[in-house]
A and B are shown apart, each in its own frame.
Chain A
Amino acid sequence: MASDNPEEILKSMKLYWKIGIALLVCTVLTVVVAWITPSILVGMGIATVKAGLVAAIFMHLSDEKPMIYKIMVYTVFFAVGLMFLTLLALYDPVVSRVVN
C-alpha cells in the first residue's frame, strides 16, 4: 500500500505498471493456450493467477488489516461452497439418471 512518502509512492507506481504488463502477458497467454489446447484447467489456472495479482497488488490485499482478511476468508469459504453445491446436484437422482 502506498504511504504518504513521495518516493514510496513512485516506487508503487512502477510496481503497478509491472503488474499491468504481467496481466497483459497473461491475457495473451490465455488466448494462445486456448488456441493450442483448449483446457479448462489451464485457462482457469491462468485466470486465477491474474485475479490473484489484481487482488493482491491493485486491491492491496497483500498488505491489509486483519479485519479485511477475516471478511474475505468467510466470503471465499462460502463462494467455494457454492461451486460444490453444483457438483452435489450432479448426484441428484434426476440428473444422475441422465449422466449414467
Chain B
Amino acid sequence: MQIPFEVKPRPDTGLWNAKLGIWLFLASEVMLFGGLFSGYIFLRLGAAAEPDYFWPEGTLSVPFGFVNTIILILSSVFVVVAWLYVKLRDFRKFQIWMGLVVLCALVFLINKGFEYNAKFTHYGIKLTDNSIVEGHGIDDTIIYEGINEVVLDIQRFNGEFLTLVDGEIPEFREVVDGKPTGESFALSVKKVRGIESRINEGLKKALKEDWDAGKKKVDWLPAMGVKQLILVPSSPFSIRTSKGSLRKSFPDGAKFRDQSLLKGSISAKTPGLFLHAVDRIDLRACDAEKLEDSLVWKYLGDESPLAGHDTSHDKRSASNISAAEHARVAEKIFFGALKQVEEEDGEEADFDDLRSHSVKKWKDPEGSLLESEAPILVPWDEVRLYSNFTPKWNTYYAIYFTLTGLHGLHVLFGAVVLFYFGFCSKKFYEKNPEHFANRVEVGGLFWHFVDLVWIFLFPILYLM
C-alpha cells in the first residue's frame, strides 16, 4: 500500500506527513524538558530561600561540559551537512558525515560516563551539627556482635541476614514470652531463597501444623496484622554488613529491609563511618559557635576515635595513623583554610569567615596549592546523612541526574536512528532518494533538538 504525502506536501497543511509528525513530537518534548527546567528553577529558588541550604555550585567539571557542548554543536553541523549530501545525491559523503555524527554521540556519552562515575565514587557526610565533609573511599562496614535474638516477619523474610553471618549459621529455637516452644529451625540461605518457598520449609510446615491444630503459637502484630516469629540462636553470633544496606540501625540492634530485627551490639571494631580522604569541608551551615566545638574539628583532631580503634580487620588499616599526626592534619586543613580566606579577603579571618567559605584547597607556606587527604572517622550517632553524589545526597544531584540522564537517553536514541540511516538504508536511498532525504531531515530535526536542550543545560548546571 502506498502511503500518501511521504514526499509531496499535503495541500491542507503544506507539509509532508513525517515533518508534521516530528514537529508535533518536538512540541511534546519542549513541554517535557520545559517541565524539568521549571522543576530546576523551583528547586533552586527554594534553596535560595532557605538560610541554611547552600546550592552546590561548581561541583561539575567545566572542561568536560565545555567539550561536550562543542561536540554536540559540531554534530549538529555534521548532520545538516549529511542531509545536504543526500540532496546532492552523494551517498558516500552522506555516510562519512553521518558517521562523524554517530562518533560525536559516542564521545559525548563516554564523557558523560566519566562524569557520572566521578559522582558515584565521591561521598559526602553530613554530621549532626550540619557540617559537611566530602571525599573519597568510604567504608560503612558495621559489625553487630553477640546477637542473641532474631525477630522475623514471616511474610517478608527473605533470609538476607543469613548471608551476612560471620562464621557458621547457628540452629535457632523459637521462643514465646521468653520460653522455648520446643520448635527448632535450621535456617539456610538456599532454602529460604529457593524457588519453591520464600521461607524455610520446616518453618512453613511447623506453622501450618499449628494453624491446623488451632493453636496460636505465632505472635500477631495487631496494628499491622503481621505475623512474627521470635527465634533464639543456639549461641550468640555476629554479622558484618554495610550500614547502607540496613533499613535501620540502633545501638542495640539492626533492622533489615525484610523487617528482620537482630538484637546485638555494634562492635568496637566498627565504631563509625570512615572516609579515607577528605577533600572538602563545608561549615557554612554548621551550628557550632566556635571552631573547636564543630564536630569536623573534633573528629579530624586529636579526639578522633580513629586514633584508638582497631584497624586490623579491613581496608581501614591503610590509614592507621597516630592521634598526634591526626591533629596536625586537622590543624593544617583549618589553619591553612583560614590563611587562604585571609589572603582572599586581605584581612584577619576568624571562624565566622571560615564558615562562609567551603574549604577545598589551601596554600602551604611555600605558596603551592594543597588538597586535603586526611581520613575521618565519624561515630555512627553523629552521622545525619551520608551518600555518594546521587539524588540521595541533595536536590541538586536529583535534578542534575534527571535532566542529564533523560538528555543522555535522547543522545543514545538519536545516535541509533542516525546510524541506521547512515549504514543500513542504502536500498531505501536507491529506491526513493527524496523520500530518504525527508527521513534524514526528520532525524536531523530531532538531533538539533537534543543539541538545543544541551545549550541550556550546560550553563545552568556547569556554570551557574
Contacts and interface: CB of A to CB of B under 8 A. Distances in A.
B207 interface: no
A99 B49 contact: yes
B23 A68 contact: yes
Given A31-B66, A38-B463, A47 B455 contact: yes
A95 B50 CA distance: 9
Nearest to A22: B73
A76 B30 contact: yes
Given A9-B87, A44-B459, A51-B452, A20 B50 contact: no
Contacts of B458: 27, 30, 47
Contacts of A9: 84, 87-88
Contact of B38 (A23, A51, A85): A85
Contacts of B459: 30, 34, 43-44, 46-47
Contacts of A85: 38
Given A75-B30, A95-B49, A20 B455 contact: no
Interface in A83-98: 83, 85-86, 89-90, 95, 98
Nearest to B89: A6
Given A6-B88, A9-B84, A65-B13, A83 B38 contact: yes
Interface in B405-464: 444-445, 448-449, 451-452, 455-456, 458-460, 463-464
A23 B77 CA distance: 10
Interface range on chain A: under 10, 10 to 19, 20 to 34, or 35 or more? 35 or more
A43 B457 CA distance: 11
Contacts of B460: 43-44
B42 A86 contact: yes
Contact of B87 (A2, A38, A43, A95): A2
A4 interface: yes
Nearest to B51: A98
Interface residues of B, number: 48
A16 B80 CA distance: 8
A59 B445 contact: yes
B34 interface: yes
Given A27-B69, A50-B455, A83-B38, A74 B13 contact: no
B15 A68 contact: yes
**Chain A binding surface, main DSSP class:** helix
Interface string B254-277: 000000000000000000000000
Interface in B11-62: 13-15, 19-20, 23-24, 27, 30-31, 34-35, 37-38, 41-42, 45-46, 49-50, 62
A63 B40 CA distance: 33
A65 B16 CA distance: 11
A94 to B, nearest CB: 10
Nearest to A19: B77
Contacts of A23: 73, 76
A38 B182 CA distance: 73
B81 interface: yes
B411 to A, nearest CB: 15
Given A20-B77, A50-B455, A54-B452, A78 B463 contact: no
* Residue among B23, B49, B445, B448 with the highest chain A CB neighbour number at 10 A: B23
A39 to B, nearest CB: 9
B176 interface: no
Interface of A: 2, 4, 6, 9, 12-13, 16-17, 19-20, 23-24, 27, 30-31, 34, 38, 40, 43-44, 46-47, 50-51, 54-55, 58-59, 65-68, 71-72, 74-76, 78-79, 82-83, 85-86, 89-90, 95, 98-99
Given A58-B76, A58-B448, 10 more contacts: A2-B83, A9-B88, A13-B81, A24-B70, A31-B66, A38-B463, A38-B464, A47-B458, A68-B19, A79-B30
Interface of B: 9, 13-15, 19-20, 23-24, 27, 30-31, 34-35, 37-38, 41-42, 45-46, 49-50, 62, 66, 69-70, 73-74, 76-77, 80-81, 83-84, 87-88, 444-445, 448-449, 451-452, 455-456, 458-460, 463-464
17 contacts: A16-B84, A30-B463, A31-B66, A34-B464, A38-B463, A40-B464, A44-B460, A51-B456, A59-B445, A59-B449, A67-B14, A79-B31, A83-B38, A85-B38, A86-B38, A86-B45, A98-B46
